[in-house]
Amino acid sequence: MQGKTFFIDMTKCTACRGCQVSCKQWKNLPAVKTKNWGSHQNPPSLTPVTFKLVRFNEVNKDGKIRWNFMPEQCRHCVEPSCKLIMNMYVPNSVEHDAKTGAVLYTDKTATIDLEPWEMCPYNVPRRDEKTGVWSKCNMCIDRVQNGMKPACVTSCAMGVMQFGDREEMLAIAYERLAEVRKKHKDAFIADPDDVRVLFLGIGDPADYYEYLSADTAGL
């Protein structure tokens, strides 16, 4: 299945959080009350009403400080382990849209009593404490099925995010990787064969987020 894919060039991200806000706006999701926990990353992690979160990491490399910003979300995996596991517990609780490749949760997930990392290698899904229903990014499937791009993609003034047919996005991502590698030999794309959200970054993937480190591949 070709389907759709995001390309997220983290080397261009300024952490303005426009994508995080536009996700909330389009989905009419409430804000989450937080307190200062010593980081601009707010809320501290994904929540049942926060499907897009800009992660902030301060990295000290040889005495030089670099900010790593990662607009985190569900990767819409090519072979989603969450779907495999949740559907073992409750059949048809997770759907996989044939045309786009979007991984879609239903309210049938409410009875599944697992930890996020037991279902997802990227620790993405979150469970509503009251209803029990699991949630995450759904690729703005309502927009995409009507020929529009996901809300987060349209909000980014820095050109960090692109969205389109998978082959086209892979080609753009590898072209950009080759360009970035002229200056940064350690540039990478995380898990390109496995996911529909291609994250391009520099250095150790775990310096962006510990769950970005798995099976990272490059050219």
Query: Which residues, numbered 51-80, are part of the site for ligand SF4 (CB under 6 A)?
Result: 54, 69, 71, 74-77, 80
Q: How far apart are CA 173 and CA 184, in angstroms?
A: 15
Q: At 33, which helix (H) or strand (E)?
A: none
Contacts with ligand SF4, 143-182, as mask; x by CB under 6 A = ------------xx-x-xx---------------------
Q: Is 127 in the site for ligand SF4 (CB under 6 A)?
A: no
Tell me how long the chain is.
219
> Would you give the binding string for ligand SF4 spanning residues 9-48, x where CB under 6 A is met?
----xxxxxxx-----------------------------
Residues 6+ apart with CB under 8 A from 66: 58, 59, 203
Position 202 contacts ligand SF4 (CB under 6 A): no
CB atoms within 10 A of CB 215: 12
Q: Which is nearer to ligand SF4, 71 or 205 (CB)?
A: 71
Strands 103-105 and 94-96 turn out to be antiparallel
198 and 75 Cβ atoms separated by less than 8 Å: no
- What H or E segment, with its residue span, contains residue 84? helix 81-89
- Of 188 and 191, the one with the shorter C-beta distance to ligand SF4 is 191
Give the nearer residue to ligand SF4 in terms of CB position, either 62 or 73.
73
Q: Enumerate binding residues for ligand SF4 (CB under 6 A).
A: 13-19, 54, 69, 71, 74-77, 80-82, 103, 120, 122, 124-125, 136, 155-156, 158, 160-161
